[in-house]
Amino acid sequence: MNYTAFLKYYIDINFLNLVFSLVIGLFSNALWGVLNFASFGIFVGYWGFHLFKENEYYIYHNLGFTKKNLVFNVFLINSIVSLLVSILLFLF
């Protein structure tokens, strides 16, 4: 697995995800922002990547990644991060 290519995809997807989740978190509460980061925000980031950088999927395909694999791995990492952050929110 090419970790630098996946890291670039992860950062590109989560840029819009973080912005969207922070806005949700500011207008509701922090827990909804964290839950949004792990769930719906990924699709917002995916939509933004698809809209602005769709041609980069050819590069990821040539490196052996599929769209399904990339989105699943982003979802998995964001779920773990969100679980840890929500535990910290409940503790403090």
Residue 16's pLDDT band (boundaries 50, 70, 90)? very high
How far is the C-alpha of 36 from the C-alpha of 67, rounded, in Å? 21
> Where along the chain do its domains lie?
3-91
Decide: pTM greater than 0.85: yes
pLDDT at 1 over 80: no
pLDDT tens, residue by residue, 35-62: 999 999 999 999 999 999 999 999 999 9
User: What is the average pLDDT value for the chain, to the nearest integer?
Assistant: 94
Crossing angle for the helix pair 30-38 and 67-91, to the nearest 10 degrees = 160
How far is the C-alpha of 40 from the C-alpha of 28, rounded, in Å? 15
Contact 27, 11 (CB under 8 A): no
